[in-house]
Structure 1
């Protein structure tokens, strides 16, 4: 980053974040040449064909970056939606099971009450009363412990590199990964967007205690290749993906700023 700021030709013409984004897009040499051509043309005169061609090359590369950002955001959105849909299915399944167990518990309780009233003999009455009570209690426990899971895999895990703060990513395009890991793109400029996301995630669920047995299990589940998820874990995964999607989409603001700065002074 310091090398970019030392280039006075560019630093006088573009903001720091615009230069960093241009570096991510791979257009710094083209920007340098564009500024040189600007200075060679008096203000108010028509720009040369060489200048226009250079500007078009830069715009083409920035359009490619815009498409890349949209592609990553769409993948994050798709993965988040997939997790939410499966979580909704599990919740609906659990609600139906709970409803059936509740109805069955009421039926068992009613049958037990009627039997103890109708039957003659204390032994039979006690047997039905105790049996009905036990059955109702068991059904109640089953209702409270209803937590279905489903096998949910994600071989291409968009959360893993963020959590590991990897220097390079196999899941994200280089330009997007550069923005996510460059501290200058965060609001405070002290730590990267990826690091800030990881720090927020550490307060989610068992991730607060990553060294505990449950913490290690959740780490493997969320940042590995997948496993058996319950609805809560799926909603957690969806929230993390949606948070990342928002960070990726915000790159468009910096891209818009760079495009605005590309307009030559005086035009």
Structure 2
């Protein structure tokens, strides 16, 4: 009887402690919550040479040689004037070579921009997933411990009930042990998981959610492409709108409150493992969309190669 009381007391204490949801703090957490994926420098796009004025007959020349899709791509990456001039110049071989080099350089730069942004998103997706897995491991260990405690307490309660000859005492022990075992069992079904604090100084999801690139986290060429309806399969919503709609429907069940919006799209806060998994999935989805822009560049490159 004394042994059961001692064990029950320890179980009650562990029950109360395990039911408290705490924010984890450790060296591992600190390392992963630090955004080592963020670029170490600020890109200066002002140095890019972009033609300011259209050449004579530019629109008619481009419309005659390019589809609407490829024309929009050329405008987004800033080569339409170079391209129109290249198509207009016939005999000046040197000038054509210079113009072709400028067009090729801009195509290459846009490809680099796409890959750089996709790499940052990929890095963040892996970082956040690692955080989520770390918390999952801690939560799973707690659940296993609660399961063992519940089974052990149930077994001791059964033995004590049989050994105690006083029916009233035996009933009390049985009921008390049963309640404690049931409580521990309930915790294994719906445990209160651990959480972490994650603060966001550079939130690439926020640019998409608010359709705002004033911080220039996205290169102008990419931002222009994802805000043009022509580059989505439906043609009804641009890529930015499509991504936001999918997040709303599949990550937030069609609606989102201000607290969740701040957590995912502003400066962060306290995350559960499920929140982190959702964030990682959103980063990976955005990465795939950014990489898909290479298909649009390919279409233009194939057409230019035929000139």
Does the pair score TM above 0.5?
yes
After TM superposition, give the deviation of residue 208 of structure 1 in Å: 1.8
SS across alignment from 1:262: helix
1:197 aligns with 2:249: no
After TM superposition, give the deviation of residue 16 of structure 1 in Å: 1.8
The answer for the alignment partner of 1:17 in structure 2 is: 69
CA contact (8 A) 1:108 1:136 kept: yes
Give, in whole Å, the separation in 2 of the partners of 1:83 and 1:50: 50
Q: Show the 5 A alignment for 1:122-161.
A: 122-146=167-191, 147-161=193-207
The answer for the alignment partner of 1:44 in structure 2 is: none
Query: Kindly tell me: are residues 171 and 239 of structure 1, through their superposed partners in 2, closer, same or farther at Cα, counting changes over 3 Å?
Result: same
CA contact (8 A) 2:58 2:84 kept: no
Aligned partner (choices 150, 153, 158) of residue 113 of structure 1: 158
Give, in whole Å, the separation in 1 of the partners of 2:167 and 2:213: 76
The answer for the alignment partner of 2:233 in structure 1 is: 187
Unaligned 5+ residue runs, structure 2? 1-53
After TM superposition, give the deviation of residue 120 of structure 1 in Å: 2.9
Aligned partner (choices 270, 293, 299) of residue 251 of structure 1: 293
Give, in whole Å, the separation in 2 of the partners of 1:224 and 1:167: 13
The answer for the alignment partner of 2:81 in structure 1 is: 29
SS across alignment from 2:269: strand
Give, in whole Å, the separation in 2 of the partners of 1:7 and 1:205: 43
The answer for the alignment partner of 2:282 in structure 1 is: 240
After TM superposition, give the deviation of residue 261 of structure 1 in Å: 1.6
CA contact (8 A) 1:72 1:172 kept: yes
Aligned partner (choices 258, 283, 306) of residue 216 of structure 1: 258
Give, in whole Å, the separation in 2 of the partners of 1:68 and 1:209: 33
Unaligned 5+ residue runs, structure 1? 42-46
After TM superposition, give the deviation of residue 222 of structure 1 in Å: 0.9
Give, in whole Å, the separation in 2 of the partners of 1:264 and 1:97: 64
1:7 aligns with 2:53: no
CA contact (8 A) 1:88 1:231 kept: yes
After TM superposition, give the deviation of residue 216 of structure 1 in Å: 2.5
SS across alignment from 1:56: helix
SS across alignment from 1:156: coil
Query: Kindly tell me: are residues 191 and 256 of structure 1, through their superposed partners in 2, closer, same or farther at Cα, counting changes over 3 Å?
Result: same
SS across alignment from 2:249: coil
Q: Name the TM-score, length of structure 1 as normaliser.
A: 0.87
Give, in whole Å, the separation in 1 of the partners of 2:146 and 2:306: 71
SS across alignment from 2:204: coil
CA contact (8 A) 2:58 2:81 kept: no
